Structure 1
Amino acid sequence: MDAICDKCGYDFRIESVLVEKVDENVSRHYFCCYECGEKYYYMIVDEEIEKLLLKQKELQMLRHLALEAEDYDKYEDLLEEYEGNKDIILKMQDELKLKCSV
C-alpha cells in the first residue's frame, strides 16, 4: 500500500506496521513516514476487537468456500454477518479511542 506523508510530502510504500501498547489491554497499530518519521495510527484494538477481527478472517474464508461451492444463500448469510461485525468493530474502536484519549 502506498502513502504520502502529510508532514513532508514524501511518497512511500508502507512496508512495516508497528504496534504500541496504550495500556495492558489496548494497543494501536501504526506506520511511519520513512523520510521524517511522522506516525500514522490506523487501528486501535483490545481483546474483544481482536476476537472479532479473527472472526472476520474466518468469515472471509467461509464466504470464499461458499462461492466456490456455488452456495449463494450461504454466501449471503456470511456476508451479512461479516458486514454486521464490521459495523460493530468500527463502533467499538470509536468508543475505545474516546476511552483512551487517542
Structure 2
Amino acid sequence: LKALEQDGIQTKNLSFEKKEGMSVAQSLLDEYDHDKTGFVTKAEFMVLADLIMRHYEAQSTQKNKGRIGKYVLQRKLGVGSNSVVRVGVDQETGKKYAIKIIKRGDVSDM
C-alpha cells in the first residue's frame, strides 16, 4: 500500500465501503476477502489488482494528456476517418509540427 501511495494513488479510494476507525489495509482485506479467511485468494487479489491497474491507467492518461513524447499537442488541424492531425510543439526547440494521431486498431491496412 505504501508503494501505491508513493505513486500518487490514494489507497482509500480502492475500498468502496471504508468503515470508520478501520485502517485502509483492514478495510481492503475485509472487502476483498469474500470467504472471510483472513487472506485473499488469487482470484480475489486479481479483482483488487485490476482496480489498481485502472487507477494507474487513469493517472497515466491524466499526466500525458496533451502530450506525445517530447511534443505538446495544441489545436486540431484536421480529422479523418481513422486519424486526427494536431499541432505539436517540440518542447526542446519550440518548433511546430503536424502530428498525425492514428486511432488504435486501424493500422493493419497501412
Q: TM-score range by the shorter chain?
A: 0.3 to 0.5
The structure whose RCO (Cα within 8 Å, separation 6+) is larger is 1
TM value normalised by structure 1: 0.33
Which structure would you say has the larger Rg?
A: 2
TM value normalised by structure 2: 0.31
